[in-house]
Amino acid sequence: MFNLFKAEKQLHLKGAEARSEVATQFNSTTRDHPNIQEVAELVLASAVDTYGIPKDWLNVEFFEIKRGPGLKEKHLHFIMNRWSDQLLRYSAAFQQQFLAKLSHFDPSVDHSMHIVSWRFSDSCELPSAMIPDGVAWHVSSHAKQGTQD
pLDDT computed for residue 23 by the predictor:
44
pLDDT computed for residue 43 by the predictor:
92
Q: Side chain identity at 97, as an amino acid letter?
A: Q
pLDDT computed for residue 63 by the predictor:
86
* Pairing between β-strand 71-80 and β-strand 115-120 as defined by DSSP bridges: parallel
pLDDT computed for residue 143 by the predictor:
63
| pTM for the full predicted model | 0.68
Q: Side chain identity at 131, as an amino acid letter?
A: I
Give dist(CA 92, CA 94) in Å, integer. Answer: 5
Do residues 99 and 72 make contact, with C-beta atoms less than 8 angstroms apart?
A: no
CATH architecture under which domain 15-126 falls = 2-Layer Sandwich (3.30)
Q: What is the 3-state secondary structure (H, E, C) of 44-64?
A: HHHHHHHHCCCHHHEEEEEEE
Cα of 14 vs its chain's centroid, Å: 20
Q: 19 vs 24, 32, 106, CA distance in Å?
A: 9, 10, 7
6: part of which helix (H) or strand (E)?
Answer: none
Do residues 94 and 134 make contact, with C-beta atoms less than 8 angstroms apart?
A: no
* Pairing between β-strand 71-80 and β-strand 58-68 as defined by DSSP bridges: antiparallel
Query: How is the beta sheet containing 58-68 ordered, strand by strand?
Result: 58-68, 71-80, 115-120
pLDDT computed for residue 149 by the predictor:
47
Q: Tens of pLDDT along the chain (149 residues)?
A: 444 434 333 333 444 444 444 444 444 444 555 688 888 999 999 999 999 999 999 999 998 888 889 888 889 999 999 999 999 999 999 999 999 888 888 777 777 788 999 999 999 989 988 999 998 988 877 666 655 54
Domain boundaries, the chain: 15-126
Give dist(CA 59, CA 6) in Å, integer. Answer: 22
DSSP conformational letter for 116: E
